[in-house]
A = this chain, B = another copy of it.
Amino acid sequence: MDAALQVLDLLGIAVFAASGALVASRKQLDAVGFVLIGMVTGFGGGTVRDLLLGRTPVFWLRQPELPLIAAAAALLVFFFAHRVESRFKALLWADAVGLALFAVLGAEIALIAGAEAWAAVLLGTVTATAGGILRDVICNELPLILRKEIYITAAAAAALGYVALRLAPLPRDVALLAGIALGFGIRGAAIWRGWSLPAFKPRPARDYPDAR
């Protein structure tokens, strides 16, 4: 991985680790809990991508600076999040940055590993969403993925946009930035303006028992 990818990767890990720590703050965990949840969130998407592709040992076992970055981001949240006006808003925005970064990076790493274009789009989407799903499931929170605003769509659009631009005669870094801007723009607008796509309209509620 060259310098540009490495920087984006570190940034994605840091913001996703911070998002994990923000959920840990809601659960009132101790500092070690912040670090573990931060690592699970920061490494989860890339870990699933590496496992699906068979790239083992997975990436964060080969670079000691990655756990340090994730731990530092989680501890910053542990010590300073009480000063944040709304930790939930901070969570949404940190997650949005990570979503856009990892969708594009996941797609690029899949392409480097030899995946076809369609598979790279899927793997980018998985890389972007798996860390947040793991965070929410382990912490027993309602997954962001289930919120009404556009979420998976933003990840899929970023990965698809990036892979499409890679097929064009453009410098790679232009495609990287465009894909990230597309994903963050869609997800950011969804948070800010409440954007959503047409959702499934059920019949009246008796149609489906209240399983929970």
Q: Give chain A's interface residues, CB within 8 Å of chain B.
A: 24-34, 36, 39, 47, 51-54, 56-58, 61, 64, 67, 78, 81-82, 86-88, 115-116, 118-119, 122-123, 125, 129, 133, 137-143, 145-146, 148, 150-153, 156, 196-203, 207-209, 211-212
Min CB distance A201 to B, Å, is 6
Contact present for A30 and B198 (CB under 8 Å)? yes
Q: With A and B bound together, what is the CA distance between A129 and B35 in angstroms?
A: 14
Name the residue of chain B whose CB is nearest to the CB of A197. B30
User: What separation, in Å, do the CA atoms of A157 and B50 have in the docked complex?
Assistant: 28
Once A51-B51, A56-B51, A203-B82 are accepted as A-B contacts, the answer to whether A32 and B197 lie under 8 Å apart by CB is yes
Q: Are B82 and A200 in contact (CB under 8 A)?
A: yes
The residue from B64, B87, B137, B153 contacting A118, defined by CB atoms under 8 A apart: B64
Known: A33-B152, A133-B138, A137-B138. 8 other contacts (CB 8 A): A25-B200, A29-B146, A29-B199, A32-B156, A33-B151, A51-B52, A78-B200, A139-B143
- Structural contact, A129 and B207, CB atoms closer than 8 A: no
From known contacts A28-B200, A119-B61, A197-B30, infer whether A140 and B138 are also in contact, taking CB-CB under 8 Å.
no
- Chain B residue nearest in CB terms to A68: B118
| Chain copies in complex | 3
Do A143 and B140 contact each other (CB < 8 Å), given the known contacts A32-B152, A54-B57?
A: yes
Contact B142 A140 (CB under 8 A): yes
Whether the pair A87, B54 counts as a contact (CB closer than 8 A) is no
Q: Are B199 and A64 in contact (CB under 8 A)?
A: no
With A34-B200, A143-B138 already in contact, the answer to whether A88 and B152 are too (CB < 8 A) is: no
